[in-house]
Amino acid sequence: MGLAAQAGNPVYDVIGVGFGPSNLALAIAAGERGAASPRALFLERQAGFGWHRGMLIEDATMQVSFLKDLVTLRNPASEFSFLSFLHQNGRLIDFINHKTLFPLRIEFHDYLEWAADKVSDVVRYDREVQSVRPLRTDGVIDAFEVTSTGQGGTSIDVTRNMVLGVGLTPHLPAGISRSDRVWHNQELLTRVRELDGRTPGRFVVVGAGQSAAEVTAYLHETFPQSEVCAVFSRYGYSPADDSPFANRVFDPGAVDEFYSSPEDVKQMVLDYHGNTNYSVVDGELIEALYSRQYRERVLGIQRLRTFNVSRVVDLVESDQETTVTIESLSTGQKTELPADVVVYCTGYRPADPVSLLGDIGELCRRDQEGRIKVGRDYRVQTTGELQAGIYLQGGGTEHTHGLASSLLSNTAIRAGEIVESIAAAKVAQVADIDRPHAVPDVVGLH
Ligand code: FDA
């Protein structure tokens, strides 16, 4: 029997699916409403809090100012700020002396984990949400039954609103699947640990974005006996535009502007400023990689090789080895390269945000291109039959809310906006109870 079927189980105001930074910020924003906090639960499939653990490369730094943490832009006085974290850990003065806005990624992970611990009462880990079922009162869907699984078995919870914060899905080119020798960079550090001291002779790294450059540098440094071949279709790594005028595209105000712009202007902004985030690399890392390659030329070594204007056109795995065929896009020349490990740094894609929702997805409105229609408050627009709320956080809202959607820049503000929208809907529901066609409390359904 499911939990919700047992008497006395709560009906949540909101269930968050996934507990990455987006829904963590939401949990904090909900808690900071004090007595007016919505009743919230978060379900996360990982066994504990973890943010891109496979890419916590020791010297990698954040791509965003620490001031764009989980709370500061919404509530600079919050006890959940990065500065509070530093203060509690006795590092505030050392961080100030460091004179940087960009902490180590490892340190930011520690911060997120610290914040997640402080709200652990509203999170259940090891819970993968499998499906969602509509609950109807008088023909109207006014709640959802959420089924999740984990080592503890199956549980069912009921909520009036859901916030999907499930992140992005690692992308591999068509026909490529992961194996012991074919990795996606998402799992880099886990896979390297599994090598257990063995030294691969040759790594091939596919891609030219920030992750690809980081992986190339990391492997080159960690395995001083190995060759590292970077393959990409660009002529060279391109720097990320982090200049101040362009950076405004991530401002909270830019979301309003983007949301109300005509479709062609939205696309224009995405095209102009895609180079703030996509397929670009931090300038210092580009310089460092170039220096290494040049140093090797001086020393007569060629351990860091770049195949530019090129692509991988074939990958054949046998029991003994993997062979990668690289084609030069300018000459058409093909090079066959035996490789011990191929690391695809080919990015992430938004999952269809409503794939979890089953039949409920049919009630979500879509635009002419089949994309989910989302309100300014991140609430999915639905047919009138569906009155319980579905909210989206993350990459699935880039076409409506702009480039900050899949990033941390606007997380604090967005979380606050969603919490306020849920609170406003709750007030409207309570007012409804006094009317003749009141929606009864969903607890009465079980
Ligand atoms: P995120 O992917 O972090 O979390 C989603 C969570 O949902 C995961 O914990 C997952 O396990 C869980 N989940 C998924 N499906 C589930 C289900 N069915 N049931 C239960 N749980 C489920 N951005 C930035 O602004 N500055 C930066 O410096 C960086 N750095 C960076 C480094 C690396 C290596 C990557 C890959 C990405 C970044 N990013 C970034 C972008 C990054 O997407 C962003 O920082 C956040 O991870 C987005 O947070 P979310 O919570 O939306 O997704």
Report the pLDDT value the prediction gives residue 4, as an integer from 0 to 100.
43
Residue nearest to atom 3 of ligand 1 (CA): 20
Taking only the tens place, the pLDDT of each residue in 274-333 is 999 999 999 999 999 999 999 999 999 999 999 999 999 999 999 888 999 999 999 999
Taking only the tens place, the pLDDT of each residue in 41-75 is 999 999 999 999 999 999 999 999 999 999 999 99
Residue count (the chain): 446
For the whole prediction, is pTM greater than 0.85?
yes
Report the pLDDT value the prediction gives residue 54, as an integer from 0 to 100.
98
Q: Which CATH topology does 170-240+278-348 take?
A: FAD/NAD(P)-binding domain (3.50.50)
Mean pLDDT over the full length of the chain: 93
Q: In percent, how much of the chain has pLDDT > 70?
A: 94
- Residue 50 CA: which ligand 1 atom is closest? 9
Report the pLDDT value the prediction gives residue 353, as an integer from 0 to 100.
74
51 lines ligand 1 (CB under 6 A): yes
Q: Which residues pair with 206 in a beta bridge?
A: 231, 344
Distance CA 370, CA 277 (A): 25
Span 256-271, average pLDDT: 97
353 lines ligand 1 (CB under 6 A): no
- Residue 394 CA: which ligand 1 atom is closest? 52
Report the pLDDT value the prediction gives residue 74, as an integer from 0 to 100.
98
62 lines ligand 1 (CB under 6 A): yes
Confirm if 36 and 423 have CB atoms less than 8 A apart: yes
Distance CA 53, CA 412 (A): 22
The distance of Cα 328 from the centroid of its chain, to the nearest Å, equals 33
406 lines ligand 1 (CB under 6 A): yes
- Residue 64 CA: which ligand 1 atom is closest? 26
Report the pLDDT value the prediction gives residue 396, as an integer from 0 to 100.
85
DSSP-derived pairing of the beta strands 310-317 and 322-328: antiparallel
Report the pLDDT value the prediction gives residue 10, as an integer from 0 to 100.
92
**Segment (H or E) for 322:** strand 322-328
Q: Is the pLDDT of residue 193 over 50?
A: yes
Report the pLDDT value the prediction gives residue 7, as an integer from 0 to 100.
52
Residue nearest to atom 38 of ligand 1 (CA): 407
Residue of 168, 408, 418 to mutate, ligand 1, most atoms within 8 A of C-beta: 408
Tokens of 91: 């590092």
Q: How confident is the model at residue 429 (pLDDT cuts 50, 70, 90)?
A: low
Q: How confident is the model at residue 426 (pLDDT cuts 50, 70, 90)?
A: confident
From start to end of 23-164, where are the E strands? 40-43, 123-124, 128-137, 140-150, 153-159, 161-164
Residues 6+ apart with CB under 8 A from 123: 19, 27, 41, 42, 43, 44, 116
Q: Is 120 helix (H, G, I), strand (E, B) or coil?
A: helix
343 lines ligand 1 (CB under 6 A): no
Distance CA 161, CA 422 (A): 7
DSSP character for 280?
-
In the chain, CATH 3.50.50.60 sits at: 3-168+350-428, 170-240+278-348
Report the pLDDT value the prediction gives residue 1, as an integer from 0 to 100.
36
How far does the centroid of ligand 1 lie from the alpha carbon of residue 108, in Å?
13
Confirm if 315 and 182 have CB atoms less than 8 A apart: yes
Q: How many CB atoms lie within 10 A of CB 300?
A: 6
Q: Is 307 helix (H, G, I), strand (E, B) or coil?
A: strand
Task: Give the dihedral of Cα atoms 91, 101, 400, 140; nearest 10 deg.
Answer: 10
| Residue scoring higher pLDDT (144 or 427) | 144
Residues 6+ apart with CB under 8 A from 230: 205, 208, 212, 216, 304, 305, 306, 307
Tokens of 34: 């004090």
Report the pLDDT value the prediction gives residue 324, as an integer from 0 to 100.
98
How far does the centroid of ligand 1 lie from the alpha carbon of residue 106, in Å?
14
Tokens of 207: 């891609």
How far does the centroid of ligand 1 lie from the alpha carbon of residue 112, in Å?
12
| Lowest mean pLDDT segment, chosen from 31-45, 79-93, 421-435 | 421-435
Report the pLDDT value the prediction gives residue 434, as an integer from 0 to 100.
42
| Residue scoring higher pLDDT (396 or 192) | 192
How far does the centroid of ligand 1 lie from the alpha carbon of residue 117, in Å?
17
How far does the centroid of ligand 1 lie from the alpha carbon of residue 52, in Å?
7
Q: Is the pLDDT of residue 442 over 80?
A: no
Domain 3-168+350-428 listed as CATH 3.40.50.1820 = no
| Greatest Cα-to-Cα distance within the chain, rounded to the nearest angstrom | 85
Span 373-398, average pLDDT: 94
64 lines ligand 1 (CB under 6 A): yes
How far does the centroid of ligand 1 lie from the alpha carbon of residue 55, in Å?
12
203 lines ligand 1 (CB under 6 A): no
Q: How confident is the model at residue 99 (pLDDT cuts 50, 70, 90)?
A: very high
55 lines ligand 1 (CB under 6 A): yes
Amino acid identity for residue 404 in this structure: A
Residues 6+ apart with CB under 8 A from 38: 12, 13, 14, 30, 161, 419, 422, 423, 426
Residue of 23, 42, 43, 44 to mutate, ligand 1, most atoms within 8 A of C-beta: 44
How far does the centroid of ligand 1 lie from the alpha carbon of residue 325, in Å?
32
Report the pLDDT value the prediction gives residue 432, as an integer from 0 to 100.
54
Report the pLDDT value the prediction gives residue 352, as an integer from 0 to 100.
78
393 lines ligand 1 (CB under 6 A): yes
Q: Is the pLDDT of residue 444 over 80?
A: no
Q: Is the pLDDT of residue 425 over 90?
A: no
400 lines ligand 1 (CB under 6 A): no
- Residue 404 CA: which ligand 1 atom is closest? 25
Taking only the tens place, the pLDDT of each residue in 72-98 is 999 999 999 999 999 999 999 999 999
Helix, strand, coil % in the chain, rounded to nearest 5:
40, 25, 40
Residue 154: closest CA among 1, 355, 315: 1
31 lines ligand 1 (CB under 6 A): no
Residues 6+ apart with CB under 8 A from 142: 135, 136, 160, 387, 388, 429, 439, 442
